[in-house]
Amino acid sequence: MSILFSSYQLGQLSVANRLLHSATYESMSKKNGEVSQALLKRYRQLARGNIGLIVPGHMHVHPTGKAGLRQTGIFSDKMIPGLKELASVIHEEQGKVVFQLAHAGRQTRKAVTGLDPIGPSNDGADPTFGVEPRVMTEAEILELIAAFGDAARRAAEAGADGVQIHAAHGYLINQFLSPFFNRREDAWGGSDKKRFRFLKQVFLAVRKNLPQELPVLIKLNTNDFTPRDGIQPDLAARYAKWLVELGIDGIEISSGTLSYAPLAMSRKRDVAGDFAFRDGYHLEAAAMIKPAIGSTPLILVGGMRKMEQMETVLKNGPVDMISMSRPFIREPLLAKRFESGKSQSASCVSCNNCLAAVRLGLPVKCYVRGLPQT
């Protein structure tokens, strides 16, 4: 049997195989953030595909943190019935599901939230979102830490098998962690330890509100690709070590921000040089992070397409689980196909039209032939 289909343990959660559906914003929920029938349909189909662990798209923990018009919300108890249905459709098909908890910080628009985007600091207009973030007060920081904790409680009440804290891709937690986005000189910035404090408090609030048997995972940037001062693998390794000391149950590594060089390495066509897409583009970073985290599960996302490469990195290290987003958009039954021995590479060509589509408010699907003309 392929190592890809051996069972695995994330904290106290057993998963059937080493494949993870990486969080993928679907742009499919209702405008008020509640789960829709279209979303349930998508996840029933994915769960039928034998993916070990499914992480649906990031869910905003507070109204100020909504990143897209049709993003799923987890900011109110009113969301729980829909979230329960989401967990149920996945469980009915024998899948496991972890909710990704997120706050957009500065990476959103007033048109989406009805409010001015906020962030740890204001370094001028954001190059992608055009607005200058309003600097968060201490009271707002504490409110959002509590909001992450409340969201974790809702995830458990809805029947999720765990949560993943979204600390990557330039969203709020990433902003606090990054010396580029976080220019504070108070208790929340000015040194690595202080920049880590927001995430630490979020973790503690989440852990406190989640039954012990449910794992807390994290998605962490290993490289921000900001013009200067951003997270690089050595700083990410330090943060990862501190997370292990706190009791994190698994670390998925990623890179890039929406503000600067959006998800830079994932792009095949229009970004050249060091940023250009290649198979397993976070593998070097993984090798740098693993020594810092020892036996804590390391989850690799980014350009994993070939079954043989997945097996190699699982067998020889440094990786414990393989995570994919775009390949499952194109082939929801990809895991099943691999398991049946049809091991040709995932057919996703990494064109990123799916990403362009959701950012325009279209529902996620494979748009390899191009976006609809408007």
Ligand X SMILES: Cc1cc2nc3c(=O)[nH]c(=O)nc-3n(C[C@H](O)[C@H](O)[C@H](O)COP(=O)(O)O)c2cc1C
**Contacts with ligand X, residue ranges (CB under 6 A):** 22-25, 57-58, 100, 166, 168-169, 219, 254, 266, 301-304, 324-327, 354-355, 358, 364
| Kind and range of the H or E run holding 323 | strand 321-324
CB of 151 to ligand X, least distance (A): 14
Our CB check for ligand X shows the closer of 47 and 54 to be: 54
Our CB check for ligand X shows the closer of 184 and 285 to be: 285
DSSP state of 373: P
Question: Which residues are CB-contacts of 103 (< 8 A; sequence separation ≥ 6)?
Answer: 60, 61, 62, 64, 65, 144, 147, 148, 171, 172, 173
CB of 325 to ligand X, least distance (A): 3
CB of 53 to ligand X, least distance (A): 13
What's the full length of the chain, in residues?
A: 374
Our CB check for ligand X shows the closer of 101 and 156 to be: 101
Our CB check for ligand X shows the closer of 49 and 302 to be: 302
CB of 45 to ligand X, least distance (A): 16
CB of 274 to ligand X, least distance (A): 17
CB of 370 to ligand X, least distance (A): 16
Strand partners, 59: 101
CB of 290 to ligand X, least distance (A): 18
Our CB check for ligand X shows the closer of 87 and 189 to be: 87
CB of 348 to ligand X, least distance (A): 7
Our CB check for ligand X shows the closer of 58 and 96 to be: 58
The rounded distance, in Å, linking the Cα atoms of 177 and 257 is 13
The rounded distance, in Å, linking the Cα atoms of 61 and 65 is 7
DSSP state of 68: S
Our CB check for ligand X shows the closer of 22 and 296 to be: 22
Peptide bond into 120 cis (omega under 30): no
CA separation, residue 180 to residues 7, 121, 188, 263 (Å)? 40, 9, 14, 17
User: How many angstroms from the chain centroid is the CA of residue 152?
Assistant: 15
Our CB check for ligand X shows the closer of 24 and 201 to be: 24
- What token pair was written down for 17? 């195989």
Nearest Cα neighbor of 364 from 127, 58, 133, 117 is 58
Angle at 179 between CA 174 and CA 181, to 5 degrees: 60
* Start-to-end Cα distance in the chain: 48
